């Protein structure tokens, strides 16, 4: 055989081999894609990879001393995917699932709608026996699964419901504005700190990849979890609340209606804030729709934050403010005296005073709470200076505390009276009740606390706030929040006279000598707010120590009577708890 013939034979064998291989591969491809396509399609559909969101633990909440107030704990939710759920399970597994009538209706409706593939959380925080039961009957309970989620833990000794706020499932309207950060079924802060600082607390979801069958039942982790993305915990929030003082405030309001706000006069940090009646965040977090409605429509309104949303006449607690207004307007001097005969006749109406005080100067007018002095002062200086000073101290405006639940109260002005009574159809006689904190003026306990802080600190404080800052979950660094300063110009000499009167209220022959403390000098002012619907409301404002204030307090007890009898002792307890706690901490640091 010649070289040319050998070379041709080799090429022929080479090309024949390639042709055989290509033909074999083509036939195999035809067999897979055409002849057996149905078989492989079934298998592909039976097993698929699904990305499951992994809930992120929310940041925890500390008090000012880094005592834990709100934490997290493991929990399980019962979830139904209506498209895969067999409604016969209502009967077969009724005792295990314990679905309410409302839940059954929700599932049935969802099966008929476009949202039938959307998971529904039908029960939160289910007990472990339900978890075990669902896992045991998993093959029969199609469309039912147990989902692990971190849940809020409130077992740290503080109720704090109106401070912390509650979580609830995100609404459809909220979802539209979240830019894909949430999905249906997610919980979101609905009130209080949880809502205001949601962007810090919520964390970032993780992702778990699993293999599931056509019934969406779990088969195995995808690639042993190698491609899973762990969730990122939210940032922790550090509050200005002092745990011991907060507990004292909550205990003081048990069985009562009212509110307490304690604030650091210099920094605006809220030391304690309590409202009663209140509610249990633990119970609310697992409440059924009917239980939730019972709380919402409770006649005592436990969800209502009386500390920031209830407005009361300030009563005689407004007298120090009016005294400053009179001094500023040069309508009175510290030595100006009047003779109190038990009230004032003005026109055809007699405006009463609680006692016949006799000769009264400014200090005594505050010390003994003489109404007659303030009727006469108001008539002399007029409505405008009174209105100016009440505005300066923040009445009639929101404080802009770092929770959304706040009302501004009512500070009536000329426009208000013109609208209510007609232009030029009202006079000083109609306004005279304002001089003793009655009539149309109304303030929140928070506004009273801010006003007291300004008196205590010489007119300088910071916007009242509950949070000091946050702890970054990545770096563990603390970042303080910034709040606006509040400053009003007060004459030092005028303020000294007013503060002397407030000191004598407790330490002289005033209306709150029942709380005189041998170790803590307290300055304060009693008030009794008239209530046309029942017993009067008891009010007391105070700051201490009087010579170097560290705490300012406002207490309102509804339907209780006199401020000196019912509100002042509560304020004394709050002051004593906080200052003793401060001294104890200082002693420990010295050691």
CATH number of the domain where residue 375 is located: 3.40.710.10
| 158 and 296, same domain (yes or no) | no
**Helix, strand, coil shares of the chain as percentages rounded to 5?**
40, 20, 35
Q: 205 and 350 share a domain?
A: no
Closest by CA position to 397, among listed 298, 292, 486: 486
Structural domain contains residue 29: no
Confidence band (pLDDT; 50, 70, 90) for 29? Answer: low
270 and 208, same structural domain?
Answer: no
Residue 36 lies in a domain: no
Structural domain span for residue 190: 50-239
Whether 61 and 246 have beta carbons less than 8 Å apart is answered as no
pLDDT band of residue 590 (cuts 50, 70, 90) is very low
Domain boundary among 188, 217, 239: 239
Query: What are 282-300's pLDDT values in tens digits?
Result: 999 888 788 888 999 999 9
Here the CATH number for the domain that contains residue 188 is 3.90.1310.10
Q: Which of 246-250, 474-478, 582-586 has the lowest mean pLDDT?
A: 582-586
Q: What is the pLDDT of residues 368-408, one digit of tens each?
A: 999 999 999 999 999 999 999 999 999 999 999 999 999 99
- Specify if 373 maps to a domain: yes
Please report whether residue 6 resides in a domain.
Answer: no
Count of H-run helices and E-run strands, the chain: 24, 23
147 in the same domain as 87: yes
User: Is residue 300 one of the residues assigned to a domain?
Assistant: yes
* 26 part of a folded domain: no
Contact (Cβ atoms closer than 8 angstroms) between residue 309 and residue 439: no
Q: Is 471 helix (H, G, I), strand (E, B) or coil?
A: strand
Q: Are residues 361 and 504 in the same domain?
A: yes
pLDDT above 70: percentage of residues in the chain: 85
Domain end, chosen from 239, 261, 278, is at 239
Claim to verify: residue 251 and residue 190 sit in the same structural domain: no
Last residue of a domain, one of 186, 206, 239: 239
Domain membership of residue 210 (yes or no) is: yes
220 and 316 belong to one structural domain = no
Higher-scoring residue by pLDDT: 131, 205? 205
- Is the pLDDT at 1 greater than 70, yes or no? no
What is the number of structural domains in the chain?
A: 2
Contact 457, 548 (CB under 8 A): no
Greater confidence (353 vs 96) lies with: 353
Least confident of 216-220, 424-428, 519-523: 216-220
> Each residue of 159-199: pLDDT tens digit?
999 999 999 989 888 888 887 788 888 899 999 999 999 99
Q: Looking at the structure, do residues 360 and 265 belong to the same domain, yes or no?
A: yes
Please tell me whether residues 279 and 361 are part of one structural domain: yes
**Residues 223 and 262 placed together within one structural domain of the fold:** no
Taking CA atoms, 211 is separated from 49, 119, 170, 361, 418, in Å, by 4, 18, 28, 85, 72
Angstrom CA distances, 327 to 7, 27, 181, 199, 334, stand at 122, 105, 56, 47, 8
Q: Based on the fold, state whether residues 232 and 286 are members of the same structural domain.
A: no
Mean pLDDT, rounded, for 21-37: 62
Tell me whether residue 395 is in a domain.
yes
Residues 378 and 259 in one domain: yes
């Amino acid at each position: 055989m010649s070289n040319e013939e050998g070379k041709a034979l080799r090429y022929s064998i080479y090309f024949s081999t390639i042709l055989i291989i290509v033909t074999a591969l083509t036939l195999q491809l035809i067999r897979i894609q055409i002849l057996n396509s149905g078989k492989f399609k079934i298998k592909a559909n039976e097993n698929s990879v699904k990305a499951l969101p992994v809930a992120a633990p929310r940041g925890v909440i500390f008090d000012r001393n880094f005592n834990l107030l709100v934490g997290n704990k493991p929990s399980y939710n019962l979830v139904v995917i209506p498209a895969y759920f067999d409604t016969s399970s209502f009967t077969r597994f009724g005792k295990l699932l314990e679905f309410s009538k409302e839940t059954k209706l929700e599932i049935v409706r969802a099966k008929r709608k476009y949202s039938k593939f959307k998971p529904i959380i039908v029960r939160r925080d289910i007990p472990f026996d339900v978890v075990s039961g669902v896992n045991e009957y998993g093959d029969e309970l199609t469309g039912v699964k147990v989902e692990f989620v971190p849940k809020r833990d409130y077992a740290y000794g503080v109720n704090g419901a109106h401070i912390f706020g509650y979580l609830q499932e995100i609404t459809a309207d909220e979802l539209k504005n979240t830019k894909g950060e949430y999905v249906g079924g997610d919980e979101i802060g609905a009130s209080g700190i949880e809502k205001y600082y949601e962007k810090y607390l919520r964390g970032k979801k993780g992702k778990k990849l699993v293999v599931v069958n056509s019934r969406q039942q779990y088969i195995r982790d995808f690639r042993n979890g190698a491609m899973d993305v762990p969730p990122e915990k939210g940032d922790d929030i550090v509050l200005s609340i002092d745990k011991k003082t907060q507990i004292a405030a909550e205990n003081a309001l048990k069985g009562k209606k009212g509110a307490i706000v304690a604030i650091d006069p210099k920094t605006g940090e809220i030391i304690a804030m309590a409202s009663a009646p209140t509610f249990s965040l633990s119970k609310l977090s697992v409440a059924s729709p009917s239980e939730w409605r019972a709380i919402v429509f409770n006649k005592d309104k436990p969800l209502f934050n009386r500390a920031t949303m209830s407005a009361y006449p300030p009563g005689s607690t407004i007298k120090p403010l009016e005294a400053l207004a009179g001094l500023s307007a040069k309508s009175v001097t510290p030595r100006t005296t009047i003779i109190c005969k038990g009230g004032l006749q003005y026109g055809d109406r007699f405006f009463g005073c609680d006692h016949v005080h006799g000769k009264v100067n400014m200090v005594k007018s505050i010390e003994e709470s003489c109404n007659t002095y303030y009727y006469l002062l108001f008539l002399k200086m007029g409505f405008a200076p009174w209105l100016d000073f009440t505005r300066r101290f923040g009445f009639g405006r929101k404080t802009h505390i770092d929770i959304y639940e706040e009302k501004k109260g009512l500070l009536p002005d000329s426009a208000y009276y013109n609208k209510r009574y007609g232009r030029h159809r009202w006079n000083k006689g109609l306004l005279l009740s304002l001089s003793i904190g009655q009539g149309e003026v109304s303030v929140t306990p928070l506004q009273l606390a801010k006003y007291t802080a300004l008196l205590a600190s010489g007119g300088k404080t910071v916007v009242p706030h509950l949070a000091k800052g946050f702890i970054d979950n990545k770096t563990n660094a603390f970042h303080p929040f910034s709040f606006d300063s509040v400053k009003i110009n007060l004459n030092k000499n005028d303020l000294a006279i007013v503060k002397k009167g407030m000191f004598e209220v407790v330490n002289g022959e005033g209306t709150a000598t029942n709380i005189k403390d041998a170790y803590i000098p307290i300055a304060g002012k009693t008030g009794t707010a008239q209530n046309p619907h029942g017993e009067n409301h008891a009010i007391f404002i105070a700051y201490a120590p009087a010579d170097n204030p560290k705490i300012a307090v406002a207490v309102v007890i509804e339907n209780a009577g006199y401020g000196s009898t019912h509100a002042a002792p509560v304020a004394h307890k709050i002051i004593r708890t906080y200052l003793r706690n401060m001294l104890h901490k200082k002693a420990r640091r010295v050691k």
